[in-house]
Amino acid sequence: MKLIIVGGVAGGASAAARARRLSEDAEIVVIERGPDVSFANCGLPYHIGEVIPDRAKLLVTTADRLRERFNLDVRANSEVVSIDRKKKVVVIHDLKSGKSYEEPYDKIILAPGAAPIRPAIPGADLPHVYTLRNLVDTDRIKQAVDGGIRQAVIVGAGFIGLELAENFIHRGIATTVIEHSPQVLGPFDPEMVAPIATAVVKMGVELLLGQSAEAIVATADGMTIRLSSGRECLAQLVVLGIGVRSENHLATEAGLEVGPRGGIRVNEFLQTSDADIYAVGDAIETTDFTTSVRTQVPLAGPANRQGRIAADNVFGRQSKYRGTQGTAILGFFDHTVAMTGSSEKTLKRLGKNYRKVYVHPAHHAGYYPGAVGMTLKLLFDPQTGKLLGAQGVGGAGVDKRIDVLAVAIQAGMTVFDLEEMELCYAPQFGSAKDPVNMAGFVAAGLVRGDHPQTDWETIAAAPDSAFLLDVRTELEFNNGHIPGALNIPVDSLRGRLAELPRDRPIVAYCQVGQRGYLATRILMQSGFNVSNLGGGYKTYLLHHPELL
Amino acid sequence: MKLIIVGGVAGGASAAARARRLSEDAEIVVIERGPDVSFANCGLPYHIGEVIPDRAKLLVTTADRLRERFNLDVRANSEVVSIDRKKKVVVIHDLKSGKSYEEPYDKIILAPGAAPIRPAIPGADLPHVYTLRNLVDTDRIKQAVDGGIRQAVIVGAGFIGLELAENFIHRGIATTVIEHSPQVLGPFDPEMVAPIATAVVKMGVELLLGQSAEAIVATADGMTIRLSSGRECLAQLVVLGIGVRSENHLATEAGLEVGPRGGIRVNEFLQTSDADIYAVGDAIETTDFTTSVRTQVPLAGPANRQGRIAADNVFGRQSKYRGTQGTAILGFFDHTVAMTGSSEKTLKRLGKNYRKVYVHPAHHAGYYPGAVGMTLKLLFDPQTGKLLGAQGVGGAGVDKRIDVLAVAIQAGMTVFDLEEMELCYAPQFGSAKDPVNMAGFVAAGLVRGDHPQTDWETIAAAPDSAFLLDVRTELEFNNGHIPGALNIPVDSLRGRLAELPRDRPIVAYCQVGQRGYLATRILMQSGFNVSNLGGGYKTYLLHHPELL
């Protein structure tokens, strides 16, 4: 067996190590176009920020180590330029010598990754306009930063854009982030990332949402970036972080099938349209775990797992990839936002039937010092309660809850299962009713019909459709409330029913939904047409980030 | 409907709030023997340590709040002394007035909790010998500490004992912990809590394992505690934390069934042997989720969930309790130890078929600063790979992995499912191959037969049964190795096969098991009779805490 692996980073390196464990006899050749194999992609912005001062830490392993330990034939600075599927040879171009040669294969695993998109705007190819994909890019950007630049512009407020922004702030650089859409972090629902946008601004970043870069012009002192709004930004460094596209040219030139967005098409065994060629990682099209639609999700975790699975299949073990859930997380200073499964916007786009709840618990017992608030959003099937997606925003402990919910989605669990989860509780770590239990209680109550819920969007679309009842204290009400609401604190509600209309729907709300729930139960049992505002005033605020 | 709830803390308070949400009309009476309802049990040690300086924080809610918000008839300082099941009345003793009276009921929910065990040793009733269950106990202990005592003895190295020890250290008190068993934290497997015992000692606590307190004698300066070893300890304060027993006297006197260890027996609807009386919380016997045997697990999370479920059933909603997983966690300074599902010793005791693996990953990407090591232990069915239990010890991130594994156990997942989990990855939060994935890879490989594993216990029982091969570097080997092992670093193994015996079993090991796994694969494919030492040298160290 001669296996050629094209690409030696996440998926490729995993495939190579797995392949060797499965077979001591196989000839395993790893062809990597860049100078480094298996580096820590996700650490690159933090090296620029000197959070990871030692560059060597980014080298997960080296070509020498792979040779020694795994007896791999690793060829860095080498590019596979074509595949002759009839002759079963690849043509390899040695970037150092400039020579090309043929190498026969029995099987290929393609792990070429994805390349940052460079927009077709004037000036996108100027010398100090970068993308960030590998160590070479990192070195260039870091060199510019070390050289003492004062201003940087980041185009794109996605994961890499915001991670870079944090690290530019660490380095004392005046940073502007330009994002053409009206929200940061596109995969998330907009209200869930509103607190992140607020934090970005609070940390001193200039955040320009809903604006595109239209041209970059070299000046004496650096560059001017012209925006769609007419505005101009100055910078000595521009980083483009607007997304990636599958490195599919080798695959397409070899006649392998690709999807509409360019992802190399594979079956559940990660086999391309050629049974002897597998493909893994950011370059492929996979199946979305919750919706079963084809998708492209460039994430390190799936890439690594796919590498193992492809190697298994190459060596005759039938191993299936179950699809990608899209579990993703961003840390921005002390803030965390994470998601798993489908977003609300995806469910809407696909016309799926869903409902949602929000809870706003503390990350551990409120009576223990240091409790930090978070918001969790659950998306689920309104009939069965099956979980479809979850998002969380806050600080400490958000990663834990989204991991728990990722497993629940993987297991096909329902909101009723969340009610029963028995999670770690000591006051430093959680609560007797963990945030995940709380979200389960609210969602299960909704599915069971215990408490009708009205989402803010419904009221926003038809403000006069309901009578708004604020059941918080007078103090809370006076500190900010939804315009037009009547304030009756829940503790006096039972004695003040006469003040409420019986001829129109009432929507009750409190700060987070809990008192609103009790108010809803009280009013329901007194014959009112009532519902609880989903997630209470705190969710209302997420829809009104100017009030955050 | 008139519902009487006996006990107003975790399970009782949850039941009361739930009951009111289900019915505005019901008469709901909460009888609490102590002065406080719904206080934060799990915070008590931290108030003594002044980690939670404000006592008021421990009051989750008050009787007044419960009256106002939930329209409950709350009677504190009142004890239900008997139940007349024929007449359907309870007799309540008002501890303040000293008077008793009858109160009729339709349904009862018993939530009396569990009482600390006071051992029958001389001096256990001396004035400064305490147990810690409620705020009154807390006040007494804190008063003694505030009074400037110098030495304290804690009898019992369970959760409360170690939490108190941490807080006594915070207060500058010379603290001795006495534990009759040879390990701390009885529910855990001994090797998994060895690092905690080490940490306890390192933080300045005198830890006396395998010793019992036999007598407490008052002296001029406090007390002398005489131990089974003949040793004597001095203290001005003794706290007994050797366990709890169900507060079942009301139930037994009413003729309700109890289990052999005294837990009130309930069915899956939490109904006692009297259909009109439910019971929840620390006082009851429940079913172990993984083994289905009857058990008694005093934990706040289950108590709260049981309160909800009992209230549901009282109001005609069929709601089942699924059993208790025994998810538990202890924080001790920066150290964390947590578990879920069955321990190895429980599986052994029940004669269950199981296997185990250990992994020793960092809690997040090693290349990002601040990564802390942890050990995860998985217990699973050797044929199906179904998860039976998990334990983790380390610092940050242990709670997250045990929560993830708790959900996996709840969902009936296998070690193969752990391989596929898609968890949050950014370098501050995890790794592309999360610790849970890693544990899954190792366990799944074992079930698949990819790498035979030998557990340390097998070698300890028959040291000459195998040839020990240390595949770490020479430096690692010289820093400490298993006596009798031969050192051949994995990177030179392929060239040194001639040095290995073909006539006896070889057990390979490295630091954590990963290089040992590769060595096992290399040797297997070269025809050797080889296995990998489960968890490597780090697991060996857990079995040799004197080397930690």
A364-387 confidence digits (pLDDT tens) = 999 999 999 999 999 999 999 999
In the prediction, which pLDDT does B260 show?
Answer: 94
Cα–Cα distance, A296 to A287 (Å, whole number): 8
Q: Could you give the residue range(s) of every CATH 3.50.50.60 domain in chain A? A: 2-112+245-314, 129-242, 334-448
CB B313 within 8 A of CB B269: yes
| Neighbour tally for A331: CB within 10 Å | 22
Pairwise CA distance, residues B9 & B60, whole Å: 9
Contact A52 B406 (CB under 8 A): no
- Contact yes or no for A420 and B329 at CB 8 A: no
A:294-313 residues touching chain B, CB 8 A cutoff: 299-305, 308
Total count of residues recorded for chain A: 548
Residue of B nearest to A522 (CA): B24
Residue that has been written with the tokens 């810690």 in this structure: B132
Rg (CA), chain B: 26
**HSE of B104, CA atoms in CB hemisphere, 13 A:** 5
B437 in Cβ contact with B419 (< 8 Å): yes
A contacts of B437 (beta carbons < 8 Å): 301, 305
The Cα–Cα gap between B94 and A474 comes to: 37
The arrangement of strands across the sheet holding B73-75 comes to B73-75, B27-31, B2-6, B107-110, B277-279
pLDDT in tens, A519-533: 999 999 999 999 999
What is residue A548's predicted lDDT score, i.e. its pLDDT? 80
Tens-place pLDDT, residues A111-162: 999 999 999 999 999 999 999 999 999 999 999 999 999 999 999 999 999 9
Is A420 an interface residue toward B (CB < 8 Å)?
yes
A-B C-beta contacts closer than 8 Å: 239
Mean pLDDT (whole number) for B202-225: 96
pLDDT tens column, B378-419: 999 999 999 999 999 999 999 999 999 999 999 999 999 999
The answer to whether the beta carbons of residues A13 and A132 sit under 8 Å apart is: no
**In whole angstroms, what is the distance from residue B217 CA to residue A355 CA?**
65
Alpha helices in B254-397 (DSSP H): 300-314, 344-349
Rounded to an integer, the average pLDDT of B444-459 is 95
User: CA A235, CA A230: separation in Å to the nearest integer?
Assistant: 16
Q: Which residues of A415-441 are buried (b: 16+ CB within 10 A; e: fewer)?
A: bbbbbbbbbbbbbbbbbbbbbbbbbbb
pLDDT at A41: 87
Note the pLDDT tens digit of each residue in A3-38.
999 999 889 999 999 999 999 999 999 999 988 888
pLDDT of residue A10: 87
Nearest CA to CA, how far is A43 from chain B (Å)? Answer: 7
Q: B325: which chain A residues are within 8 Å (Cβ-Cβ)? A: 422
What pLDDT, on the 0 to 100 scale, is given for residue A23? 95
Report how far apart, in Å, the C-alpha atoms of B435 and of each of A43, B137, B421, B526 are.
Answer: 18, 40, 11, 30
Flag whether residue B389 sits within 8 Å of chain A, measured between CB atoms: no
Per CATH, the homologous superfamily of domain B2-115+245-314 is: FAD/NAD(P)-binding domain (3.50.50.60)
Neighbours of A99 (CB within 10 A): 9
Band (pLDDT 50/70/90 cuts) for residue A168 is: very high
Within 8 A of A301 by CB-CB distance, chain B residues are 422-423, 425, 432-434, 437
Contact: A403, B399; criterion CB under 8 Å: no
Does the distance separating the beta carbons of A303 and B367 come in below 8 Å? no
Over residues A449-490, the pLDDT tens digits come to 999 999 999 999 999 999 999 999 999 999 999 999 999 999
Residues of chain A found within 8 Å of residue B22, distances taken between Cβ atoms: 521
From the candidates B308, B319, B403, B451, which should be mutated to test the interface with A, based on the most A CB atoms within 10 A? B403
Q: What is the pLDDT of residue B204?
A: 97
Cα A110 to Cα A6, A7, A266, A302: the distances in Å are: 5, 7, 11, 15
Domain B334-448 has CATH 3.40.50.360: no
Between CA B10 and CA B40 the distance in angstroms is 8
The closest CB to that of B490, out of A69, A324, A407, belongs to A69
Structure tokens given for B298? 């005093």
Is B314 in contact with B18 (CB distance < 8 Å)?
no
The verdict on a CB contact (< 8 Å) between A40 and B411 is no
Query: By CA distance, what is B335's nearest residue in A?
Result: A428
Confidence of residue B221 (pLDDT cuts 50, 70, 90): confident
- Position B100 scores a pLDDT of 97
Q: By the CB < 8 Å criterion, does A86 face chain B?
A: no
Residue A547 pLDDT greater than 90, yes or no: no
Name B220's Cβ contacts closer than 8 Å, sequence gap at least 6: none
- Please name the residue ranges forming H helices in B210-299: 249-253
Quote the tokens at residue B144.
Answer: 């003694």
Q: Given this model, what pLDDT does residue A60 score? A: 82
- Can you name the CATH fold of B453-547? Oxidized Rhodanese; domain 1 (3.40.250)
Contact, A141 vs A237, CB < 8 A? yes
* Measured distance CA(B90)–CA(B105) in Å, rounded: 7
Contact (Cβ atoms closer than 8 angstroms) between residue A363 and residue A435: yes
Q: Which residue of B has its CA nearest to A306?
A: B420
Q: Is the pLDDT of residue A58 over 90?
A: yes
d(CA B44, CA A427): 10
pLDDT at B10 over 90: no
Q: What is the mean pLDDT of residues B10-34?
A: 94
**B337, containing H or E segment:** strand B335-341
Is B51 within 8 Å of A369 when comparing Cβ atoms? yes
Helix (H, G, I), strand (E, B) or coil at B69: helix
Chain B residues 199-218 with CB within 8 Å of chain A = none
Nearest chain B residue to A519 by CA: give it: B21
- Sheet (strand A530-533) strand order: A453-454, A530-533, A506-509, A467-470, A486-487
Mutate which of B44, B367, B414 to test chain A, going by most A C-beta atoms within 10 A? B367
Lowest mean pLDDT, pick from A35-39, B141-145, B152-156: A35-39
Rounded to an integer, what distance in angstroms lies between the CA atom of residue A516 and that of residue A494? Answer: 13
Catalytic residues of B: 42
Instruction: Please tell me which of the candidates A25, A413, A429 has its beta carbon nearest to residue B331.
Output: A429
Structure tokens at A268: 């559940």
Element (H, E) at B223: strand B222-227
Residue in the block written with tokens 């199946």: A287
Q: What pLDDT does residue A61 have?
A: 84
Which part of chain A is CATH 3.40.250.10? 453-547
The alpha-carbon gap from A213 to the nearest alpha carbon of chain B, in Å, equals 28
DSSP tag of A263: P
Give me A92's structure tokens: 């390899």
**Cβ count within 10 A of residue B337:** 29
Provide the CATH topology of domain A129-242.
Answer: FAD/NAD(P)-binding domain (3.50.50)
A518–chain B Cβ distance below 8 A for any pair = yes
Q: Which residues of B touch A420 (CB under 8 A)?
A: 305, 322, 410
B187 touches chain A (CB under 8 A): no
Contact B394, B374 (CB under 8 A): yes
Closest CA to A509 of A519, A495, A499: A519
What is the predicted pLDDT for the residue at A37? 85
Given an 8 Å threshold on Cβ–Cβ distance, is B425 in contact with A400?
no
Give the active site residue among A42, A233, A424, A510. A42
User: What residues have CB less than 8 Å from B342, skipping those under 6 apart?
Assistant: B288, B290, B291, B326, B352, B379, B388, B389
Chain B residues with beta carbon closer than 8 angstroms to that of A424: 327-329, 338, 340, 399, 402-403, 406
Quote the CA–CA distance of A175 and A139 in Å, as a whole number: 19
pLDDT of res. B344: 98
Q: Give start-end residues of each CATH 3.50.50.60 domain in chain B.
A: 2-115+245-314, 129-242, 334-448
Interface test with B, best of A309, A312, A337, A367 (most B CBs within 10 A): A367
Distant-in-sequence, close-in-space partners of B181: CB < 8 Å, separation ≥ 6: B209, B210
**pLDDT score recorded for residue A163:** 98
> Do the Cβ atoms of A523 and A498 come closer than 8 Å?
no
* B403/A424 touch (CB, cutoff 8 Å), yes or no: yes
A40, A407, A425 member nearest B407 (Cβ): A407
Residue B36 in this model has a pLDDT that exceeds 90: no
Residue appearing with tokens 């067996």:
A1
Dihedral over alpha carbons B73, B78, B82, B88 (to 10 degrees): -10
CB-CB: which of B417, B420, B424 is closest to A305?
A: B420
Phi, psi of B130 (to 5 degrees): -120, 160
The residue written with tokens 């998990």 in the block is B390
Shortest Cα distance, chain B CAs vs residue A488, angstroms: 13
For the record, the structure tokens of A385 come out as 């309660």
Q: Which among A43, A69, A417 is the nearest to B491, CB-wise?
A: A69
Mean pLDDT rounded to a whole number for chain A:
96
How far B80 CA sits from the closest chain A CA (Å)?
A: 26
- In this model, does residue B41 exceed pLDDT 90? no
Residue B266's pLDDT is what?
97
d(CA B8, nearest CA chain A) in Å: 15
Which residues does B506 contact at the CB level (< 8 Å), separation at least 6?
Answer: B466, B467, B468, B469, B500, B523, B528, B529, B530, B531
Note which residues in 431-490 of chain A have CB less than 8 A from chain B.
432-434, 437, 441, 450, 490
Quote the minimal CA–CA distance from A13 to chain B in Å: 13
Average pLDDT value over all residues in chain B: 96
Task: Give the percent of chain A with pLDDT over 70.
Answer: 100
Nearest to B327 among A21, A399, A424 (CB): A424
The DSSP-derived string for A334-385 is: TEEEEEEE--HHHHHHTT---EEEEE--BSS-TTSTT--B-EEEEEE-TTT-
- Strand A206-209: give its sheet, edge to edge: A129-130, A237-240, A151-155, A174-179, A206-209
Residues in chain B closer than 8 A to A71 (CB atoms): 494
Distances (CA, A) of B73 to B28, B65, B68: 6, 11, 10
Chain A residues with beta carbon closer than 8 angstroms to that of B403 = 400, 403-404, 423-424, 430
State the pLDDT at residue B161: 97
Which residues are within 8 A (CB) of A127 and not within 5 positions of it... i.e. 6 or more apart?
none
The Cα A323–Cα A304 span in angstroms is 13
Please state the separation of Cα A72 from the chain's center in Å: 33
Over residues B103-113, the pLDDT tens digits come to 999 999 999 99
CATH architecture of structural domain A2-112+245-314:
3-Layer(bba) Sandwich (3.50)
CB atoms within 10 A of CB B124: 17
pLDDT of residue A313: 97
Over residues B335-363, the pLDDT tens digits come to 999 999 999 999 999 999 999 999 999 99
SS (H, E, C) A419-480: HHCCCCCCCCCCCCCCHHHHHHHHHHHHHHCCCCEECHHHHHHCHHHCEEEECCCHHHHHCC
| Nearest Cα to Cα of residue A420 among B538, B30, B321 | B321
